[in-house]
Amino acid sequence: MSWVTNMMVSVTGRDGPNVAALSDWLQQAGGKNSGGGCGSLCETTGGNTLWGGGKYPECNVWAGALNHADIPAILTKITQTNWHCPNVLQVFMMDQEEGFFRVWMLRDGELRQYAPLSPNEEDDDFWGV
């Protein structure tokens, strides 16, 4: 059975090689099962990519649907990476059965979450009526 974590990473163009290296690591060591891989990230904003609106995106976003991802290990790996522009880095993660992305950014060498901690999916009134 699968357990999917949706992940997006937004960086400057200079950090593309760092995201590619993170993607390689995810394929080999980012999973919960026996230290194996969980998937990879693909660039979604290349030169021939069109989004709604008819313009080319002016950002660098990589994305993947990871299976059995070890989220704490991934966040540690991101923190340990030598980013060229760490203040620009944004990591969006939404684990299986979560309803919104958690956003992580590096500030002063520390990875911080910039999404509300509550209400969350476990709260009785989270999903509305």
Domain contains 49: no
3-state secondary structure of 60: strand
The reported pLDDT for the residue numbered 122 is 86
Domain contains 124: no
Task: For residue 67, give every residue at least 6 positions away whose Cβ sits within 8 Å of its Cβ, in sequence order, or none.
Answer: 2, 3, 4, 5, 31, 38, 39
Domain contains 24: yes
Domain contains 53: no
Residue 3: φ, ψ to 5° = -140, 105
Question: Which range of residues forms the domain containing residue 84?
Answer: 4-44+59-113
Domain contains 90: yes
Q: How do residues 24-54 score in pLDDT, each as one tens digit?
A: 999 998 888 766 899 999 999 987 888 888 7
**Residue ranges for the chain with pLDDT beneath 70:** 34-35, 129
- The count of domains in the chain is 1
The reported pLDDT for the residue numbered 48 is 80
